[in-house]
Amino acid sequence: MSEGDTLLYLDGVTVTFDGFRALNALSLVLEQGEMRAVIGPNGAGKTTMMDVITGKTRPDTGKVMFGKDTDLTRLDEPAIASLGIGRKFQKPTVFEPHTVWDNLLLALAGDRAPRFTLFARQTADEKRRIEQILETTRLTDVRHRAAADLSHGQKQWLEIGMLLAQEPQLLLVDEPVAGMTDAETEQTAVLLREINRTRSVVVVEHDMAFVRALDVKVTVLNEGSVLAEGPIDLVSDDPKVIEVYLGR
Amino acid sequence: MSQDETSLSRRGLGRLGVAAATLAAFGAVEAKTSEPAAAQPTGGTIKVGILHSLSGTMAISETTLKDVMLMLIEQQNAKGGLLGKKLEAVVVDPASNWPLFAEKARQLISVDKVAAVFGCWTSVSRKSVLPVFEELNNILFYPVQYEGQECSRNVFYTGAAPNQQAIPAVDYLRNESKVKRWVLAGTDYVYPRTTNQILEAYLKSLGVAQDDIMINYTPFGHSDWQNIVASIKNFGSAGKKTAVVSTINGDANVPFYKELGNQGIKATDIPVVAFSVGEEELAGIDTKPLIGHLAAWNYFESVETPQNRKFVATWKKFTKNPKRTTNDPMEAHYIGFNMWIKAVEKAGTTDPDAVIDAAIGVAVPNLSGGYAAMMPNHHITKPVLIGEIQGNGQFSIVSQTPGLVVAQEWSPYVADTKDLIGDWRAPMRCGAFNVKTGTCTAGKKV
Amino acid sequence: MKLDRAAILTIVLVFGAALVMAALNQMTPPASAMHVPTYVIALAGKYLCFAMLALAVDLVWGFAGILSLGHAAFFALGGYAMGMYLMRQIGDRGVYGNPNLPDFMVFLGWKQLPWYWHGFEWFGFAMLMVVLVPGVLAAVFGWLAFRSRVTGVYLSIITQALTYALLLAFFRNDMGFGGNNGMTDFKAILGFNIQADSTRSALLVISALFLCGQFLLARFVVGSRFGKILIAVRDTESRTRFLGYRPESYKLVVWVLSAVMAGIGGALYVPQVGIINPSEFAPGNSIEAVIWVAVGGRGTLVGAILGAILVNFGKTWFTSVLPELWLYALGAMFILVTLFLPRGVVGLFRRRSRLEPEPEVPAASAAQEVTG
Amino acid sequence: MLRLLALLLLLLCGPLVAHADDPLAELASGSFDTVRQGVEDLAQSGNPNAAKILSALQNGQLYYLPDHTLLIQADDGSYANAITGKAVSDDDAEARSVRINNSIRSVLDAALGSLRLFDPNPSVRLNAAGAVFDAHQPAAIPALDRALAKETDSAVKTRMQQARAAAVLSDPGAAQDARLAAVPVLRARGDEAARGVLASVADQPGPVGAAAKAAVASIDRVLQLWSLAQSVYYGISLGSVLLLAAAGLAITFGVMGVINMAHGEMVMLGAYTTFVVQQVMHAYVPSLYGGSLLVAIPMAFLVAGLIGVVIERSLIRWLYGRPLETLLATWGLSLVLQQVVRSLFGADNRNVTTPDWMSGATQLGGLTLTWNRTYIILFAFLVMAALMAALRYTPLGLRMRAVTQNRRMAAAMGIRTPWIDALTFGLGSGVAGIAGVALSQIDNVSPNLGQGYIIDSFMVVVFGGVGNLWGTTLGALTLGIVNKFLEPIAGAVLGKIVVLVLLILFVQRNPRGMFPLKGRAVEA
């Protein structure tokens, strides 16, 4: 694969909190259009990795390149989000007081400056896009409900919907199926694969069945660096992986 | 914002409507209730307004003045009231909030229809109510020593002007203690600023060099006096007798004197003469380390006269507290109240215009054995007393001006006011008459 | 922008009542039963100015989650700008007859007008300053604070430090703003006698006009997409950031707007109470303004207006009828409202809206979870 | 010989013959000038009763009858003849006190000083020499010479030599050599008092003036250096006051996250408790009065702590997780508490006395350390140490930390979290009460006491880092010292403004204070 197809490139990223190494010279390459599952025990550095990519945490050393020549370590969260990196949190984080519709409206790609939003009116195009996302996320029926009133699974989907509305090149998804029913989990897997048709996705997940269902390349993190990488079957047979994670 | 989420429920709307309408109608209600009072002025009583803070920072000083007014009114009623009517005190609390002073003054005059108001302590509270009294033409008796530079037709100043307190005190120190170096320490507001300005000009006119005068201002409620006291000590080590003239206000005095005592500055080394420290303030301090420090007032509780003994005894009985002290502003209210009574009796009415005219020239006994007369500038004549602090929180009077001092409302030491006089008698009727140009610059009332 | 009935009712009541009171004051003779005395006009004008301050506080606290304990500073700054104009209007009618210097400067022996007083003789310039001074201060302060993500109590405490520093600064006579006494004894505004009943009535109506205008503006802001983002920032600041919004810009805009609104309130307050002095900067005043909003109902705008009027009416009433006990009444009111009316008086009448802030202030706890 | 003289004096002050030169008659005159003359004359007269009479005068216990008989009032109020010591009855109605003013007081101090130079007690002699130094009158030289000849105590001797040097230098008639020799003695003393004496002759022409001028300059240089150290002390002192005021808040706000606007009122209640304790002890156990503050400390802790527990149980506990609303409720509470105290005790200041062991100052080189402030510094550190120890080592502290860090887990482990909350709040309030005891020694005891400290306290806690007692300590000291170094440069007001602006900028750079910690408080 040629250089040009690399979307995200982490090189020797190290993050230390009060002497604790959350990430230890972590390196990772994500291709354009790829879906990647990241697994690892608690404290392996999964969330910290997300934090570094989205600009929440600044690494002590290392490079984080997005696309050809954008160094993410120099940018803050809104700037990175505007570049086209969306993030879904472990716990569903939506704007509870707003309706589903408004949540999506606020997430839609567009001008983020106050001077625009102060006078912005909803356009027909925006309406169309929202309806489309509602369709995709199966939230059409509840579009006028306040987000706070949604079920847990619906909130997860709404958040994914908001990510879609952002129209990112890369989605970072943190434990999307935690607390979901089996049916919901299945639907989520379908949804993610659908999304992956147009965008790159990184999924952090504990649920091995779900990861298996995704059927993508897996990266196993341990103690802040990559332990193993490859297809799920290969990785799950790796004795090191079994020792630290699967076999515990 | 979607319509159904935030709109009021039908019932709620009605209730809110009622509440708001009640609120809006309060003006009309107020107007109605005050109406009968306007038709039949006071309904058998004469109302007297008392405008002293009962809460907030100034409550510490002003509450006492409210109490003394209540006592005086009670006494007057026991003597049969005024013009055959009983006096009725209307007490409000302006809460040490200056705009609230103006609001309460307006309320006392236009809603309660009081015949006169006794009140205010700080300069800013007086400045705040002054336009109200002038607009609504009522009378304020102001009982506290102040910076002068004011002469309103509607205010009677029963406290001391700077020349009735500061200058005699400085003279005493010059003559008695041979003071050559002066620290003018004050709180940063208009009374100390003016007093110190006047004193500085006065001292320079006596040949005191600029190097021998140190001026220091501190904020209200200043509580950490360590370096200022140290610098006073340092200033006093120049080999010349040094004294501090203190216009430090209220709350800041206790920590100031405590620091003074602890740093070992005795009255025999560097005496401090204060213009805002009276018996009330001393009641909150252990005065043993302060013996010999001075204060200049027009009255002390320790004045040995029959009138004063009676006043003090009545006060202790009235407050049911044998430890309550009396002080100078209380005497000012005593004088002011008696003057007002006399002026009303002389005018035969409580109508402000008549009383204002009748008040000039009224003389009533003060508590230090003489008479206080209301001068045409609406200030009163006063003796000046210098007292030394005693171990028991009282003052020992060490000096008293031989005669009475007439107030200079406009300071001769300020260039812009040296030619001004106030005279509210006909035909001049002017608060600021320039004797050089022969014109009335301000405060003309026809 | 669609207005619901509560908003329309508010505007009609505020403006209508002001107009009726002014008209009755002007057109009926004092002896008439319908006459509204000037005392009431002055009081009502004062309440409306306080309502503007409350509205400003509610805008930042109720919708952006910024609890300002220093908003009275902006109110006072607007007031000082107006006060300076009114001082210059006195001209040679001052006590000393000095046409160039305000009385307090003559008094302290100043020889010439400090540079920052120039221009205030023009009404237009002064009004520009009413808007600019609080606005610029708020912009600088807000830019520093929001950029560094100072939030919650920390922000509240430094707003308090800000107003406290200003209080001390304006107390200083050397600053040239009249020290502790501030500015008073105003004579005229735009040539009209400031003590005349007609001027007072006009000022009341103007205050009502401005209050309604500010109310509509605030409604527009919170009803816009901007307002929705603001609420999102209030409740889930980090989420908005990952969506590509810059919360600091949103906070800054609403913060500056709120400061300007407070400044205008202060500017209208000064001619009606006749005095401006540093005690307006006292931290207690700012806390009181927050309490008005809490009493009325946070995040409702209508509640802010209602709260300011109710509490101040209560204060006027209690200080007259219970001069010795009114602090108990006021203190008890604050305690009871927070304990039993977490959504304020408006909450009594109104179904809960999702857009109102949770009484539990969930803002940071959610953000905290996010980072976990 | 002495006895004869005394007899003569007795005769002279016979009831009706009031001789003008008779010092005792002069004392009984009622005129300030004559009394002053009388004090001087009596001191010179060698009258054996002089010391007794003069100290009675100094203590305000000297009275006289219309016939010019001097009486001394005993502590129990009875009178005795000043000369014969015989008790006098039924004369109190006519007895009038001999009033003194400052100029008499200085003469009196000098006179008593000269007389007491020979006192058997060395500390009395030391003070006497000090008084003579302050007066620096040439008339005292003979007495000093005699005293010096007999003096054995080296400290007293030094002080006497300084007094003598001051007197000699101030005597224009003294020999030039002697005066020149006096200059280095005073320069060696090197304090402001010595500088004052030297400066008073520095303008005189001739070598004495020049030497004095040089000595003044050298003293100034030394004092300049000391004043730096003095500023640090002032800063630590101010810092310790801030620390005490903030210590309770560091618990209620810092650890629990309650924005307690009534914190200042807890301090105020502590100060009033001190007042009440002093009143009660004065009335019932006057002998123990000197220890009243030691009794007041636990009392203030209990009173404020109990009120704190009551407040927590009745008010705060309904508002957990709503920190901004606790702000409003506690603000209301602070209004109520102020008014309660105003109703109970009156609006004016109450007099809390400073025990003798906390009055005055001590010299440490060129440093003046006032006792009350020194004790407060020590006390502040003691309180912080105790507080840290309590949180770290006591079972209650352990539970408090557990509840703060993870409430649910703590509850699951059987800790009764509501009571821990109440006790924690009580502890913070109690510490605030203790601060009130200390503040009663330097500030007004009035209902407004707490208001003056509340803003500063919040600043300190925020500056130091919420929830961190070390941060609070360092924050308070830093603010105190910065303030005290700015004050001489910018003035008290501007200095404070600069500190506030610096604080605002600091918090903006470090939004979580000097020592950020995670805890419940952080999420407001």
Cross-chain residue pair B254–D202, CB shorter than 8 Å: no
* Mean predicted confidence (pLDDT) in C70-85: 97
**DSSP run (H or E) holding B46:** strand B45-51
Query: Which chains touch B (3+ CB pairs under 8 A)?
Result: C, D
The CATH number of the domain holding residue A116 is 3.40.50.300
* pLDDT > 70? residue C358: no
Confidence at D16, pLDDT banded by 50, 70, 90: very low
Are the beta carbons of B124 and C277 separated by less than 8 Å?
yes
Q: Which of B234, B238, B263 sits opposite D370 (nearest CB)?
A: B263
Q: What is the pLDDT of residues A61-103, one digit of tens each?
A: 999 999 888 889 889 899 999 899 999 888 888 999 999 999 9
Q: Which of B23, B154, B248, B439 to mutate to test the interface with C (most CBs of C within 10 A)?
A: B23
D60–chain B nearest CA distance, Å: 9
Q: Which residues of C touch D522 (CB under 8 A)?
A: 152, 364
The residue of chain A with its CA nearest to that of C240 is A78
Distance CA(D493)–CA(D506), nearest Å, equals 20
- pLDDT mean over D289-296: 90
Q: Are B219 and B187 in contact (CB under 8 A)?
A: yes
Of the partner residues A51, A107, A113, the one whose CB lies closest to the CB of residue C243: A107
Q: Do chains D and A touch (3 or more CB pairs under 8 A)?
A: no
The Cα D145–Cα D139 span in angstroms is 11
Q: Does the distance separating the beta carbons of D332 and C335 come in below 8 Å?
A: yes
Residues C236-284 have pLDDT tens digits of 888 899 999 999 999 999 999 999 999 999 999 999 999 999 999 999 8
Give B16's pLDDT tier (boundaries 50, 70, 90): very low
Band (D93; pLDDT cuts 50, 70, 90) = low
Chain D segment 244-273 residues within 8 A of C by beta carbon are 259, 261
Residue B26 has pLDDT above 50, yes or no: no
The reply to whether residue C145 touches residue D508, judged by beta carbons under 8 angstroms, is yes
Can you give the residue range of the structural domain that contains A156? 6-246
Which residue from C194, C318, C207, C259 is spatially nearest to C59, judged by alpha carbons?
C259
Instruction: Please indicate, yes or no, if residue A1 is contained in any of the structural domains.
Output: no
Interface chains of chain A (3 or more CB pairs under 8 Å): C
Model pLDDT, residue C352: 63
Quick: pLDDT tens for D409-461.
888 888 888 888 899 999 999 999 999 999 998 888 888 888 889 989 998 98
Q: Which whole number is the average pLDDT over C28-33?
A: 84
Q: What is the pLDDT of residue A234?
A: 85
DSSP labels, B272-303? EEESS--HHHHTTS--GGGTT-EEEES--TT-
Closest-CA residue in chain B for D166?
B239
pLDDT at D2 over 60: no
- Mean pLDDT to the nearest integer, B368-390: 94
Alpha carbons within 13 A on the beta-carbon side of A215: 4
- Answer yes or no: do D323 and C153 touch at CB < 8 A: yes
Query: What is the residue type of A66?
Result: F
Cβ distance of C224 and A102 shorter than 8 Å: no
> Do the chains contact at A98 and C231, CB–CB below 8 Å?
yes
Chain B hits for C63, CB-CB cut-off 8 Å, are none
User: Over the stretch D138-185, which tens digit does the pLDDT of each residue have?
Assistant: 888 888 898 888 888 888 999 999 999 999 998 888 888 888 889 999
Here the tokens at position D155 are 């400290």
Average pLDDT, chain C: 88
D387-402 in b/e form (b: 16+ CB < 10 A) is: beeebeeeeebebbbb
Using CB atoms, which residue from C226, C229, C242 is nearest to A81? C242
Cα dihedral sign, A177-A178-A179-A182: positive
Q: Looking at the complex, does the CB of residue C152 fall below 8 Å from at least one CB of chain D? A: yes
Q: What is the pLDDT of residue D13?
A: 47
B130 and C363 Cβ atoms separated by less than 8 Å:
no
Mutate to test the interface with B, among C13, C39, C270 (most CBs of B within 10 A): C39
Output the furthest CA–CA distance in chain C (Å, rounded). Answer: 71
Helix intervals (H) in D255-406: 263-284, 292-314, 323-345, 371-393, 395-405
- A207: in domain: yes
Kindly list the residues of chain A whose beta carbon comes within 8 Å of any beta carbon in chain C.
Answer: 47, 51, 54, 56, 76-78, 81-82, 86-87, 89-91, 93-98, 102, 105-107, 112-114, 117-120, 146, 148, 162, 166
| pLDDT tens for each residue of B125-147 | 999 999 999 999 999 999 999 98
Give the number of domains in chain A.
1
**Which chain B residues are Cβ-neighbours of C179 within 8 angstroms?**
188-190, 193
Mutant choice from B107, B152, B413 vs C, greatest count of C C-beta within 10 A: B107
Which ipTM was obtained for this model?
0.86
Whether C243 and A95 lie within 8 Å, measured CB to CB: no
* Helix D323-345 and helix D263-284, axial crossing angle in degrees, nearest 10: 30
Regions of chain A short of the pLDDT cut 50: 1-3, 248
CATH fold of B166-274: Rossmann fold (3.40.50)
Cβ(B303)–Cβ(B385) under 8 Å? yes
The pLDDT score that the predictor gives to residue B68 is 96
Predicted confidence (pLDDT) per residue in D366-420, tens digit: 788 999 999 999 999 999 999 999 988 998 888 888 887 777 888 888 888 888 8
pLDDT attached to residue C70 = 94
Mean pLDDT of B254-277: 89
**pLDDT higher for D477 or C111?**
D477
Query: What pLDDT does C29 receive?
Result: 87
Q: Which of C225, C229, C244 sits opposite A81 (nearest CB)?
A: C244
Distances in Å between the alpha carbon of D103 and those of B401, C176, D72, D325? 19, 42, 22, 60
Instruction: Identify all chain C residues contacting B114, using CB atoms and an 8 Å cutoff.
Output: none
Q: Tokens 């903006």 correspond to what residue?
A: D508
Site from A118, A149, A150, A163 to mutate, C interface, most C CB atoms within 10 angstroms? A118
Scanning D462-521 for CB atoms below 8 A from C yields 462, 466, 493-494, 496-497, 500-501, 503-505, 507-509, 511-513, 521
Instruction: Indicate yes or no: CB of A97 within 8 angstroms of CB of C354.
Output: yes
Tokens representing B268?
Answer: 């025999």
What residues pair up with A219 in beta bridges, in sequence order? Answer: A38, A229
Q: Measure Cα distances from C118 to C85, C99, C125, C188 in Å.
A: 10, 14, 10, 19
D444 CA: distance to closest CA in chain C (Å): 20
The pair of three-digit structure tokens given for residue B56, joined into one six-digit string: 């907030």
Considering only residues D452 and D304, tell me which one the structure prediction assigns the higher pLDDT.
D304
* Averaged pLDDT, C21-34: 88
Per the DSSP assignment, residues forming a β-bridge with B273 are B245, B294
Cβ–Cβ < 8 Å for A147, A99: yes
C120-124, C316-320, D516-520 — most confident range: C120-124
C-alpha to C-alpha distances, D271 to A187, B252, D116, D296, D450, nearest whole angstrom: 68, 17, 40, 9, 10
Kindly list the domain boundaries of chain C, sorted by start residue.
5-371
Distance in angstroms (rounded) separating the CA atoms of residues A202 and A188: 14
Task: Identify the residue whose tokens are 């609070």.
Answer: D472
| Subunits close to D (at least 3 CB pairs below 8 A) | B, C
Amino acid at A134: L
Q: Residue D496: list chain C partners with CB under 8 A.
A: 165, 168
* Mean pLDDT of the B340-346 span: 96
Instruction: Please name each of the domains of chain D with its CATH number.
Output: 2-102 (no CATH), 117-204 (no CATH), 226-522 (1.10.3470)
CA distance, residue A115 to nearest chain C CA (Å): 8
Put simply, the answer to whether D524 touches C153 (Cβ < 8 Å) is yes
Band of pLDDT at residue B18, cut at 50, 70 and 90: very low
Question: In this model, does residue C292 exceed pLDDT 80?
Answer: yes
Among the listed ranges B35-39, C306-310, D101-105, which one has the minimum average pLDDT value? B35-39
Q: Residues near A223 by Cβ (< 8 Å), separated by ≥ 6? A: A21, A24, A43, A44, A45
pTM to 2 decimals? 0.88
Residue D106: band (very low, low, confident or very high) from pLDDT cuts 50, 70, 90: confident
Query: Model confidence at B67, in pLDDT bands (50, 70, 90)?
Result: very high
Chain centroid to CA C275: 16
Q: B240-254, D197-211, D294-308: which has the highest mean pLDDT?
A: D294-308
Distance from C-alpha of D50 to C-alpha of D111, rounded to nearest angstrom: 9
Query: Which chain B residues contact residue D445 at CB under 8 A?
Result: 284
Task: Name every chain B residue with its beta carbon within 8 A of the beta carbon of D361.
Answer: 262-264
- Rounded to the nearest integer, the mean pLDDT of chain D is 85
User: If you count residue pairs, one on B and one on C, with CB atoms under 8 Å apart, how many are there?
Assistant: 214
Asked which of A102-106, B177-181, C350-354 is least confident by mean pLDDT, the reply is C350-354
Cα–Cα distance, C121 to D398 (Å, whole number): 66
Q: How many CB pairs under 8 A join B and D?
A: 159
Q: Do C180 and B124 touch (CB under 8 A)?
A: yes
